[in-house]
Chains A and B, each alone.
Chain A
Amino acid sequence: MIKHVMPYVAGSYGATILILGGLSLTSLLRYRAARRRLAAVEPRGRRRRDAMQDEQS
């Protein structure tokens, strides 16, 4: 009985690891990529915004 059922139990835990692991990994990679991209763009944006404010004042 144990041998007969074990593949189904192991399969469900394997699916859990795959799905939750996959979702976590994609979320983490996207978060890091978004942070990197924003860090690359934001300082220039801030400098220009400051410059615009200086021009207005």
Chain B
Amino acid sequence: MPDYTGDIAARPIGAPQSKAGAWLHRFANPGRFQRLVQPVLPWLTVVAFLTTVIGLVWGFFYAPADWQQGIASRIMYVHIPSAWVAMNGYAALAICSLLSIVWRHPLADIAAKEIGPVGAGFTALCLISGSLWGRPEWGTYWVWDARLTSVLILLFLYLGHMALIRAFDNPQHGYRAAAILGLVGAVNLPIIVFSVYWWNTLHQGNSISVTGPSKIYVTMLYPLIVCTIGFYLAFAAMCLGRISSGIMENRARALLLAQAERGDA
């Protein structure tokens, strides 16, 4: 009787070598994941929805216009959070790829597969909103600036990961190839972050700092923080929901296969 994780369960999962490995293996159990996530998911979805709506309404209707950019600065409440989520989403995908390659966690493969489309959506939103800001401010939708180009590469990495993971008849080959791409693609993340310092770019430098004072006034910072929290929660809710769906689909497939093998389906 195959485990309900389906084809993924057929992979040889090595015994944990360390305390960290043992801890990870414990939480790599899809059944435990479902028990933890399913009660939380509806609440997380509601909180994510409300926070995002409050942040967007605050940013669009009530945030003050910038003294230089005017109301075009309101695009910032969409553009910056989507950029952060896109980058950190890829960092999560790279961590899942590492877990998949090193420990062969079944859940890491499903997580990497499901993070891809959501991360690609946020990256596309970052590029679209940036282009819509660039037209009135720079006079063009697009320039081959280091920051813009490196974010476009991030979108291609997401799309490549999504294509590669589905490109093989044997899902294990797809997971392995996509994990290597996911890990190698993480090199692009510091390039995105530091591109505005390494090259002369049209894109402005960072206005917000975690360690030092931010260059943005609080009346604009607060809606930006709310939007950022909302976008992160939405990303988490979508990814957890999709991972949970993936586990359930694998389980249903495994049960049907088991029935078919016995010839009584």
Number of interface residues of A (CB under 8 A): 34
Contacts of A34 in B (CB 8 A): 244-246, 248-249, 252
B66 → A minimal CB distance (Å): 11
A6 vs B100: C-alpha distance in the bound complex, in angstroms? 46
B238 engages A24 (CB within 8 Å) = yes
User: Which residue of the partner chain B has the closest CB to A15?
Assistant: B128
The answer, among A11, A20, A22, A41, for a CB contact under 8 Å with B255, is A41
Q: In this assembly, does B11 line the interface, its C-beta being within 8 Å of a C-beta of chain A?
A: no
A51 → B minimal CB distance (Å): 10
A27 engages B71 (CB within 8 Å) = no
A30 vs B248: C-alpha distance in the bound complex, in angstroms? 10
| SS of A interface (majority) | helix
The answer, among B49, B78, B264, for a CB contact under 8 Å with A16, is B78
A15 vs B79: C-alpha distance in the bound complex, in angstroms? 11
Number of interface residues of B (CB under 8 A): 44
User: Which residue of the partner chain A has the closest CB to B265?
Assistant: A44
From 11 to 27 in chain A, residues with beta carbon under 8 angstroms from any chain B beta carbon are 11-13, 15-16, 19-20, 22-24, 27
Q: Mark B194-223, 1 if CB is under 8 A from A, else 0.
A: 000000000000000000000000000000
A12 engages B251 (CB within 8 Å) = no
A23 → B minimal CB distance (Å): 5
Q: In this assembly, does B19 line the interface, its C-beta being within 8 Å of a C-beta of chain A?
A: no
A11 → B minimal CB distance (Å): 5
The answer, among B136, B234, B242, B252, for a CB contact under 8 Å with A20, is B234
By a beta-carbon cutoff of 8 Å, the part of chain A in contact with chain B is 1-2, 4-6, 8-9, 11-13, 15-16, 19-20, 22-24, 27-28, 30-31, 33-35, 37-38, 40-42, 44-45, 48-49, 52
A sample of 16 cross-chain residue pairs with beta-carbon separation below 8 angstroms, ordered by A number, consists of A1-B70, A2-B70, A5-B71, A8-B72, A11-B132, A12-B128, A15-B125, A15-B132, A20-B121, A22-B121, A27-B238, A28-B241, A30-B245, A35-B248, A37-B249, A44-B259
